[in-house]
């Protein structure tokens, strides 16, 4: 399961998560960063690096942030 970046990232786009990702699967979107689900190796290195606590394993995305799962996949045409 890939990780998902949720609403706290909107407008922040701090690059700490991109700097620790060993496979460089975090990309800059229009208003936030997004994780490519086919490239993510589910290592979790990005989670503690996120200064706004916006990153979750897909299965742990809070209920109110669930739309970001679809947004993430759609961004990459999946």
Identify the CATH number of the domain in which residue 31 sits: 3.30.70.20
| Core vs surface per residue 24-53: b (16+ CB within 10 A) or e | ebbeebeebbbbbbeebeeeeebbebbebe
Q: How far apart are CA 25 and CA 34, in angstroms?
A: 8
pLDDT for the residue 24: 96
pLDDT for the residue 13: 80
pLDDT, tens digit only, all 78 positions of the chain: 799 999 999 999 889 999 999 999 999 999 999 999 999 999 999 999 999 999 999 999 999 999 999 999 999 999
Query: Which residue range(s) make up the domain with 17?
Result: 3-75
Count the domains in the chain: 1
Residue for token pair 């979790």: 44
pLDDT for the residue 77: 94
pTM: 0.93
pLDDT for the residue 23: 97
């Amino acid at each position: 399961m890939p990780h998902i970046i949720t609403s706290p990232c909107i407008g922040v786009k701090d690059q700490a998560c991109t700097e620790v990702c060993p496979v460089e699967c975090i990309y800059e979107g229009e208003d936030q960063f997004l994780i490519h689900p086919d490239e993510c190796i589910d290592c979790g290195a990005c989670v503690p690096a996120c200064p706004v606590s916006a990153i979750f394993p897909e299965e742990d995305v809070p209920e109110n942030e669930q739309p970001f799962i679809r947004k993430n996949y759609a961004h990459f045409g999946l």
